[in-house]
Amino acid sequence: MDSVDRRSFLATTGGALAAGVAMNTLGAHAAWAEAGRSDFHPGQVGYGELRRTKSRNTGEELLALPEGFTYIVLGKTGTPMTDGVATPIAHDGMAAFPGTRRDTVRLIRNHEVRTTPGSPTGRVYVEGSERYDELGVAGTTTLEVDLRSGEVLRHFVSLNGTIVNCAGGMMLHQRGWLTCEETTAGPKQGWKQKHGYIYEVPLDGPQPGKPAASQPLKAMGRFSHEAVAVDPRTGYVYETEDDSGKPNGLYRFRPTDPRNLAAGGVLEMLKIKGRDGYDCREGQKMGARLPVEWVRIDDPDPDLENGAKTCTQQGLAKGGAKFNRLEGCWYGDGSIFFNSTSGGDAKNGDAPGADGYVEGYGQVWQYIPSRRDGGTLVLVYESPGRKELDSPDNLTFSPRGGIVLCEDDASDADADPHPLAPGLENVNRLIGLDPGGQPFEFAVNISDDSEFAGACFSPDGSTMFVNALGSTTALEPPGRTYAIRGPWRRGPL
């Protein structure tokens, strides 16, 4: 769901080097897969064999990790927060910012709550706050964490009155978090307002009991949003779309004022130059460079309740390129990287979608902007099968240039058991890439079959935070946030 890592490491010391290392790793990974390699041995690369590991603060066996790595559980569903609200359900996209004090980190975390309008079950809600939709059940929470002790210093609702907050991305200059609704539901589905928008969650401002006002940025588009990444050179915001069962688009928003997204701008969809309706979902060659142009979305806030054309339909009618389930999105080394969770030629066995496309095991794309023309699109990796990588969702780059992909096992047909998680039919993992391009297992969710999401590293690189989604409609299984520490420099992350 959420999140390529939303941070631009180019803004930190050593960031350009880290992004360059990541670029080389992705290139090696593409070559590894393109050569038809099948020698995937999870314990022989990365950090070695995984073992079932107990949480240091709860004593539960929830994750399998390599030797030397430990974790604690933060913000489990139902845990009372500083503002008196119970931690909501459905932990999803997330970003890590410098904390208010030394050796602290601030996390802003999405909650993809999918309950009915106004339902109290696991909702994100603060009485008397300024909410866009009074019946909204989703939003964001903010956590301040002491990196040394792992103690949660405070945690609270930072935005409410929205629905299905899936992923998002860091705002320009790390001023806050852009949280995205993965839906286009509205009054016809029982809500008081139309949905399908992006909202700002300022880094500074929200306090316990006083969340930020939820104001939709309508010029940025009304569609089933997933993640965003901001190009710090231009302020352009790149947006992925995740609407299952139909073609999706990659969008960019050119703001009138990059520091004030509410001032409006122009929304566009990516098109392969001279190739109307180019299908990026299958039949692609890794490393091939595709010239890009952009087509304008004339009505970014369509009145879907009265039959207006969707943003996707508008873009495709002008020749926009087709993708499948675009999810995580990250900026680094002058490029935008994004995942297509179910793209690719190796198929996962699910039934065809509405237009006959049969889902694959996933792709990773790179868009290279250019001041001279529309830029270039490159397929940097395509999964050859479920053992190597099954349905990449979030994509995280570490400060050292390592790469982690969060799995969201999207197939109903292809069972995905794991020896470390007996009794679970569809197991989700964190997959790392070594410098030679070979994938390796870094973590396995052995607690339940929910996906990993929101992976991000603390600014000092000492801790990786990641969510287990849990249920999006019930209290069980609970959502959890993990803080993982260990000998990172021993391996490629």
For residues 160-198, b (16+ Cβ closer than 10 Å) or e, as one string? bbbbbbbbbbbbbebebbbbbbbbbbbeeeebbbbbbbb
What sign does the CA torsion over 232, 242, 223, 97 have? negative
Contacts 24+ apart (CB under 8 A), 203-206: 203/97, 203/106, 203/108, 203/171, 203/174, 203/175, 203/176, 203/177, 204/176, 206/142, 206/156, 206/157, 206/158, 206/159
Mean pLDDT across 306-334: 94
**390 in a domain, yes or no?**
yes
Yes or no: say if 26 and 397 are a contact pair by the CB < 8 Å rule: no
Q: Is the pLDDT of residue 1 over 50?
A: no
Mean pLDDT across 188-210: 97
Least confident of 280-289, 290-299, 394-403: 394-403
As a whole number of angstroms, the distance between CA 464 and CA 124 comes to 25
Yes or no: say if 403 and 22 are a contact pair by the CB < 8 Å rule: yes
Least confident of 76-80, 83-87, 383-387, 488-492: 383-387
As a whole number of angstroms, the distance between CA 169 and CA 200 comes to 10
**1 in a domain, yes or no?**
no
Mean pLDDT across 465-477: 97
200-238 confidence digits (pLDDT tens): 999 999 999 999 999 999 999 999 999 999 999 999 999
What sign does the CA torsion over 85, 89, 93, 99 have? positive
pLDDT computed for residue 12 by the predictor: 33
As a whole number of angstroms, the distance between CA 464 and CA 3 comes to 13
As a whole number of angstroms, the distance between CA 265 and CA 257 comes to 8
DSSP helix/strand/coil, 472: coil
Six-digit token string for 334: 């002058």
12-68 confidence digits (pLDDT tens): 323 444 556 666 766 666 666 666 665 666 666 789 999 999 999 999 999 999 999
Least confident of 348-352, 392-396, 434-438, 461-465: 434-438
**468 in a domain, yes or no?**
yes
- In the structure, what pLDDT confidence band is assigned to residue 6 with cuts at 50, 70 and 90? very low
Residue with tokens 């016809």: 188
**Total of domains in the chain:** 1
pLDDT computed for residue 32 by the predictor: 60
Q: Is the pLDDT of residue 295 over 50?
A: yes
**Mean pLDDT taken over the chain:** 91
89: domain CATH number is: 2.120.10.30
Contacts of 191 by beta carbon, 8 Å cutoff, 6+ apart: 117, 133, 135, 136, 163, 185
Q: Is the pLDDT of residue 171 over 50?
A: yes
**2 in a domain, yes or no?**
no
Contacts of 128 by beta carbon, 8 Å cutoff, 6+ apart: none
- In the structure, what pLDDT confidence band is assigned to residue 11 with cuts at 50, 70 and 90? very low
Residue with tokens 């992976």: 455
pLDDT computed for residue 278 by the predictor: 98
As a whole number of angstroms, the distance between CA 387 and CA 362 comes to 12
Write the DSSP assignment of 339-397 as a string of letters. EETT-SSSB--PPP-TTSPPPBS-EEEEEE--SSSS-EEEEEEE-SSTTT-S-EEEEEE
Range of the domain at 17: 9-490
- Predicted model pTM: 0.93
As a whole number of angstroms, the distance between CA 46 and CA 439 comes to 8
Dihedral of the alpha carbons of 31, 35, 39, 42, in degrees to the nearest 10: 20
Task: Kindly report whether the peptide bond that precedes residue 369 is cis, defined as omega within 30 degrees of 0.
Answer: no
pLDDT computed for residue 34 by the predictor: 63
For the chain, first and last CA: distance in Å? 21
Residue with tokens 């909410």: 131
Q: Which helix H or strand E contains 31, and what residues bound it?
A: helix 15-34
Query: How far is CA 421 from its chain centroid?
Result: 24
Q: Is the pLDDT of residue 462 over 50?
A: yes
Q: Is the pLDDT of residue 409 over 50?
A: yes
- In the structure, what pLDDT confidence band is assigned to residue 10 with cuts at 50, 70 and 90? very low
pLDDT computed for residue 9 by the predictor: 30
Write the DSSP assignment of 125-167 as a string of letters. --TT---S-TT--EEEEEEEEETTT--EEEEEEEEEEES-EEE
Mean pLDDT across 315-328: 96
Q: How many residues does the chain have?
A: 493
Which residues on neighbouring strands pair with residue 396, listed in sequence order? 404
**451 in a domain, yes or no?**
yes
Which residues on neighbouring strands pair with residue 252, listed in sequence order? 238, 268
152-162, strands of its sheet edge to edge: 91-98, 104-111, 138-146, 152-162
C-alpha distances out from residue 220 to 28, 224, 255, Å: 35, 12, 9
**246 in a domain, yes or no?**
yes
Yes or no: say if 325 and 353 are a contact pair by the CB < 8 Å rule: no
Quote the strand ranges of 147-264, DSSP E.
152-162, 165-170, 176-181, 198-202, 225-230, 237-241, 250-255
Query: How far is CA 27 from its chain centroid?
Result: 21
pLDDT computed for residue 433 by the predictor: 79
- In the structure, what pLDDT confidence band is assigned to residue 417 with cuts at 50, 70 and 90? confident
Mean pLDDT across 267-294: 96
pLDDT computed for residue 36 by the predictor: 62
421-439 confidence digits (pLDDT tens): 999 988 999 998 777 767 8
As a whole number of angstroms, the distance between CA 112 and CA 287 comes to 34
pLDDT computed for residue 264 by the predictor: 98
